[in-house]
């Protein structure tokens, strides 16, 4: 049996950071000037989006 | 606003929080301990499990103010000097994780399971007691194996 190859479990290199809380997911990011996404759902089942008022978000 | 103080992973910390601030928000946003995750915000998924005074809690379901004066342990507090805790090592050895998002909660819940059921906890008990932790990757089989292996190694 070889150390690597078919039929052999391969140790994952990324596990340590996930197991110690050091994984970095999008919700963990915090950099200066970053933008945020917020989903606004349409109250209309079928409509055309003609314009968007983003003043409240600015 | 109020000031809360607690011991997190062996370190005294304090901060200003709103009355409604959740423990997980205090950990993630005030202390920047982002290892504790928010998966659902509705107490179902278990990604936010931490220990408060030695007992596992879902930190999205507890106010920061309720943890005032407590000892809190998060996933960041388990490894010492770069050595994985036996339960962390067992998850690695048994391929008990893929994307890793649920893993911090799984490991913290696993430790609570061992604390209450001992080092020879059986598979049925592990499966039953992990009902509050959801994993979308692994199908749970290797997580259960990891918890049992970690439990044994913690007693060794």
CA distance B56 to B52: 6
Q: Which domain holds residue B26?
A: 2-77
Residues B114 and B48 in one domain: no
Say what angle helices B141-155 and B103-117 make with each other, to 10 degrees.
50
Candidates B40, B78, B88, partner chain A, best to mutate (most A CBs within 10 A): B88
Q: Assess A25–B contact: CB distance below 8 Å, yes or no.
A: yes
User: Of the residues B77, B100, B118, which one is the last residue of a structural domain?
Assistant: B77
How much is the pLDDT for B156? 85
pLDDT band at A7 (very low <50, low <70, confident <90, very high): confident
Q: Assess A36–B contact: CB distance below 8 Å, yes or no.
A: no
How much is the pLDDT for B60? 98
Q: Assess B101–A contact: CB distance below 8 Å, yes or no.
A: yes
For residue B45, the domain's CATH number is 3.10.20.30
Residues B60 and B93 in one domain: no
How much is the pLDDT for B131? 97
How much is the pLDDT for A3? 67
How much is the pLDDT for B125? 98
pLDDT tens track for B39-85: 998 999 999 999 999 999 999 999 999 999 999 999 999 999 889 99
CA distance A20 to A18: 6
Report ipTM for this prediction: 0.93
CB-closest option in B74, B97, B99 to A21: B74
Residues B19 and B57 in one domain: yes
CB–CB contact B35 A14 (8 Å): no
User: Of the residues B27, B43, B77, which one is the last residue of a structural domain?
Assistant: B77
For chain B, percent of residues with pLDDT exceeding 90: 97
List, in sequence order, the alpha helices (H) in A1-58: 15-19
The yes-or-no verdict on residue A1 having pLDDT over 60 is no
The yes-or-no verdict on residue A2 having pLDDT over 80 is no
How much is the pLDDT for A9? 81
Domain count, chain B: 2
Mind telling me how many Å the CA of A11 is from chain B's nearest CA? 8
Residues B19 and B53 in one domain: yes
CA distance B77 to B8: 8
| Beta carbon pairs, A and B, within 8 Å | 57
Candidates B50, B78, B100, B105, partner chain A, best to mutate (most A CBs within 10 A): B100
In the numeric block, which tokens belong to residue B4? 């809360």
How much is the pLDDT for B102? 98
Q: Assess A54–B contact: CB distance below 8 Å, yes or no.
A: no
How much is the pLDDT for B138? 92
User: Of the residues B44, B77, B110, which one is the last residue of a structural domain?
Assistant: B77
Q: Are strands B49-52 and B71-73 parallel, antiparallel or unpaired?
A: antiparallel
How much is the pLDDT for B97? 97
Residues B39 and B67 in one domain: yes
Residue B146 CB coordination number (10 Å): 27
């Amino acid at each position: 049996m070889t150390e690597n190859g078919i039929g052999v479990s391969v140790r994952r290199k990324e596990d340590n950071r996930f197991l110690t809380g050091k994984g970095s997911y999008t919700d963990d990011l915090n950099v200066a000037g970053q933008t945020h996404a917020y989903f606004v759902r349409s109250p209309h089942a079928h409509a055309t989006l003609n314009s968007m008022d983003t003043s409240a978000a600015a | 606003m109020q000031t809360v103080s607690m011991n997190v992973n062996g370190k005294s910390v304090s901060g200003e929080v709103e009355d409604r601030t959740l423990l997980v928000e205090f950990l993630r946003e005030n202390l920047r301990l982002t290892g504790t995750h928010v998966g659902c915000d509705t107490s179902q998924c278990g990604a936010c499990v931490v220990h408060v005074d030695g007992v596992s809690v879902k930190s999205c379901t507890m106010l920061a103010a309720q943890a005032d004066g407590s000892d809190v342990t998060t996933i960041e507090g388990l490894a010492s000097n770069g050595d994985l805790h036996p339960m962390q090592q067992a998850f690695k050895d048994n391929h008990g994780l893929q994307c890793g998002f649920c893993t911090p909660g799984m490991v913290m819940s696993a430790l609570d399971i061992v604390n209450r059921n001992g080092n020879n906890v059986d598979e049925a008990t592990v499966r039953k007691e992990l009902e509050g932790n959801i994993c979308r990757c692994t199908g749970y089989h290797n997580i259960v194996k990891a918890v049992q292996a970690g439990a044994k190694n913690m007693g060794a």
